[in-house]
Amino acid sequence: MPSKKSNDYNQIAFALEILKLLAEKPRRREELADLLSVFLEQHGTSPDNADVKQKLTRMIRKLRDCGIEIESGTHSPYKLVASNFPVLISSEQREALALAAYFLADMGFSAQASQIQRINNLRESDIPSFVKVDFSPPVDYSDRNSNTIVRQLQERFVQQCRYTIRYQSKQGEGRIWDIDRSELRLHDGLLYLFAFIPDWRSWRFDHWHNIDQNHVFRLDRIASVGAASGTHWVSCDFPTLKVRYRTSGQLAHYQPRRKDEVVISSDPEGKFREIEATIDYWFWFRQRILKYGANAQILSPQTLADEIKKEYKKIWEKLSADENSLIPSGNVVTGELKIPP
């Protein structure tokens, strides 16, 4: 006859196995019973399937009594919603979790931050005092509407078929967009739907499947997500373009950290570096190059290099016009205003 201690150990191991399986994904009762039967056989017992199901039902009830939230229904699988099972972590791990929760909360993901805080009852005092963030997103991405939009988009990503969204522009105008290959991207503190638009015609490129067909949509302006169609995505990859640029001055020794950038050559005297970037969205790359100012210059393609030159020319003309408007009337300004070529 097995001892009481042995029975208690077996029940604990059985409970932990249930939690481990449900932590991986929701599982139906039959699937869970089959997996638990294998587990019991590996530990020296061979109960029949009916007995395993009874043990499963009793153990789920006990786990719920302990405060572990497990959802289930007549036609629904068991789903682990939340667990208050104690987690033993070091002080460094606790600080890392607190920091992650702090970042997520400030980026507009309060629900996700709350889930992390519940793992080990994290407090504000656990956040390192030397770290401050200020993302200031326009919306809490954890609110009910945003959470629904994210969940629907994630379903479309899995289905990999074309779908539609209704998008509100900055001017408040609504438009239906046909969406192909897509994913969520976080850029400069904002969450975007990054998507390939199959019917978009570019003025820059005369070939189909180009980077101008990649569009971004702010998540907080997506009003609704349509159902998936029967048309599969045209490609599993976004179109890209290789751009070569040179860094100099304060960026003469610039070392790219992005996985899509590589140093092509370096000046022997350390005056500049040439870098090749593989980009899939021109506007974001353009804004980064403009931030570098005189320390960065696009070398190719020439059309994109010309765009940057035109932008600098517009900035120069605007600054010059503003400067002239500050000169009192009747004063004479000598000298020649030189506009960059």
Last residue of a domain, one of 225, 255, 273: 225
In a domain, 257, yes or no: yes
Q: What CATH code is carried by the domain that includes residue 246?
A: 3.30.70
In a domain, 136, yes or no: no
Last residue of a domain, one of 161, 190, 225: 225
In a domain, 337, yes or no: no
Residues 156 and 95 in one domain: no
Q: What CATH code is carried by the domain that includes residue 156?
A: 2.30.30
Count the helix, strand and coil residues of the chain and give each as a percent rounded to the nearest 5.
Answer: 40, 20, 35
Residues 78 and 95 in one domain: no
In a domain, 196, yes or no: yes
pLDDT at position 7 is 53
Residues 250 and 176 in one domain: no
Q: How many domains, the chain?
A: 4
On whether the pTM is more than 0.75, the answer is no
* Structural domain boundaries, residue 37: 4-82
Residues 210 and 155 in one domain: yes
In a domain, 44, yes or no: yes
Last residue of a domain, one of 225, 252, 277: 225
The residue ranges of DSSP E strands in the chain, in sequence order, are: 69-73, 76-82, 163-168, 174-179, 182-187, 190-196, 214-218, 222-225, 241-248, 261-266, 272-279, 296-300
- Under 8 Å between Cβ of 279 and 240: yes
Relative to beta strand 222-225, strand 163-168 is antiparallel
Distance CA 291, CA 14 (A): 58
Q: Quote the Cα angle for 141-144-146, to 5°.
A: 40
Residues 18 and 59 in one domain: yes
pLDDT means over runs of 10, the chain (341 residues):
52 89 91 90 76 90 89 88 78 88 85 82 80 79 85 94 93 90 91 94 89 95 95 89 96 92 95 96 94 94 93 89 67 47 48
Q: What CATH code is carried by the domain that includes residue 64?
A: 1.10.10.10
In a domain, 330, yes or no: no
pLDDT at position 339 is 45
In a domain, 180, yes or no: yes
pLDDT digits (tens, 9 = 90+) for 275-320: 999 999 999 999 999 999 999 999 999 999 999 999 999 988 888 8
Distance (Å) of CA 156 to CA 153, 182, 232: 5, 9, 11
In a domain, 139, yes or no: no
Residues 283 and 311 in one domain: yes
